[in-house]
Amino acid sequence: MSLFDDTASASSGGGPLLPDGGGAAFRAGMIAIVGEPNVGKSTLLNHVLGCKIAIVSDKPQTTRDKVAGILTDERAQIVFLDTPGLVQPRDKLHEALVARVHEALDGVDGVLRLRDSARNLFEPGEADRLLAHSPVPVVEVWNKVDLLDSRRRGELDREIARREAGRAFVISALNGEGVAALVEALRALCPEGPPLYDPEELSDRDMRYFAAEAVREKVFEHLREEVPYSVATQTEEFVERDDGKHYVRVLIYVEHESQKGILIGRGAEQLKQIGREARAAIEELADHPVFLDLHVKVRKNWTKRETELARFGYRLPKRRRKRSA
């Protein structure tokens, strides 16, 4: 089944995604998913939609952009905005990622503040500071409860019971525990109105974006140390062919020549393996055979240079000019 199959639906069991127009008024709204790195934001989005639109890895800062995942059923359309993990910026790339989170919060109807319950249960983080004065409802969600022992689970359940009803949940994005109740609460935050997107759409991104992300995900899986964080990917060509394989050309950028050698590997074996796995992922999304053509290039220190960041679509927040005395 293709990501863009016009009958695909996590909520309808494969039927067409069309509001029925009867019963209660239809609701439509936007919910930003916000949290620190590796709390499971992308895993949750993929689970809710019933298909993979956001790449995942065990490395921080895998998500670098705001990606909309669209859940539509006969009662509502919820547009989930997956966002980069919130950190104290260490460089210009981090600044741009934090700016993406601020951008995602603009105009939403609610915020899903996601936590990792396997870490410190109640310690404030970067997301709490950002959302301290949120103008829209914030639903606090503790993920990864499947990793808790009975003592810590009991402690968390008691804390949830003290919170406002419908504003705190425990879930496992991995096995689905608690997710249905969470989605129901988020649906109630959406205002009455028509769908914001075509009910058959699952994301606001196209196949060129997903192809580049599939490649970047495999780079993250195969490389260690700092190399994955110096990688950017762009789809240069995506040629659809009904009578043959789609031609997909993806450029992989690194910051230094030494990183290029590491990524390619001896005899180009590592790059070939990345290509094989990425091609399979793209074929599953496109529901069509693909010829994937990978090329590795160097853009020196691109994560630290504003002009290079802009080339990859990362915009730094505008800084206010200091007034002269």
* pLDDT digit string, tens, across residues 125-142: 889 989 999 999 999 999
Indicate the number of domains in the chain.
2
Q: How confident is the model at residue 11 (pLDDT cuts 50, 70, 90)?
A: very low
What band does 119 get if pLDDT is binned at 50, 70 and 90? confident
Secondary structure of 272-321 in HEC code, one letter for each residue: HHHHHHHHHHHHHHHCCCEEEEEEEEECCCHHHCHHHHHHCCCCCCCCCC
The domain boundary, picked from 125, 160, 189, lies at 189
Task: Output the CA–CA distances (angstroms, integers) from residue 292 to 8, 13, 54, 235, 259, in the order listed.
Answer: 25, 32, 20, 10, 21
Would residue 317 count as lying in a domain?
no
**Span 229-247, mean pLDDT?**
94
Q: Is residue 97 left, alpha or beta, with left meaning phi > 0 and alpha meaning psi from -120 to 50?
A: alpha
Quickly state the pLDDT bin for 191 (edges 50, 70, 90).
very high
My answer on whether 160 and 211 are in the same domain is no
Mean pLDDT of the chain: 89
Question: What pLDDT is stored for residue 319 in this prediction?
Answer: 62
Where in the sequence is the domain holding 273, given as residue range(s)? 207-311
Q: How confident is the model at residue 231 (pLDDT cuts 50, 70, 90)?
A: very high
CB-CB contact of 101 with 34 (8 Å): yes
Copy the structure tokens of residue 64.
């670098």
Say if residue 146 is in the same domain as residue 286. Answer: no
CATH number of domain containing 252: 3.30.300.20
According to the model, what pLDDT value does residue 29 have?
Answer: 98
| Domain final residue, candidates 157, 189, 221 | 189
Strand partners, 293: 249
Residue 309, number of CB atoms within 10 A of its CB: 20
CA atoms within 13 A on the CB side of 28: 14
pTM value is 0.87
Do 183 and 224 have their domain in common? no
Do 259 and 217 share a structural domain?
Answer: yes
Residues 284 and 253 placed together within one structural domain of the fold = yes
pLDDT exceeds cutoff 80 at 23: no
Residues contacting 36, CB < 8 A, separation 6+? 85, 86, 87, 115, 116, 125, 126, 127
pLDDT the model gives residue 17: 42
Shared domain for 101 and 135, answered yes or no, is yes
Q: What pLDDT is attached to residue 15?
A: 34
Same-domain status, 227 and 283: yes
In terms of domains, do 304 and 263 share one? yes
Segment 29-83, tens digit of pLDDT:
999 999 999 999 999 999 999 999 998 888 877 889 899 999 999 999 999 999 9
pLDDT digits (tens, 9 = 90+) for 257-303: 999 999 999 999 999 999 999 999 999 999 999 999 999 999 999 99
- Among the candidates 163, 189, 215, a domain finishes at 189
Asked, for residue 325, whether it belongs to a domain, the answer is: no
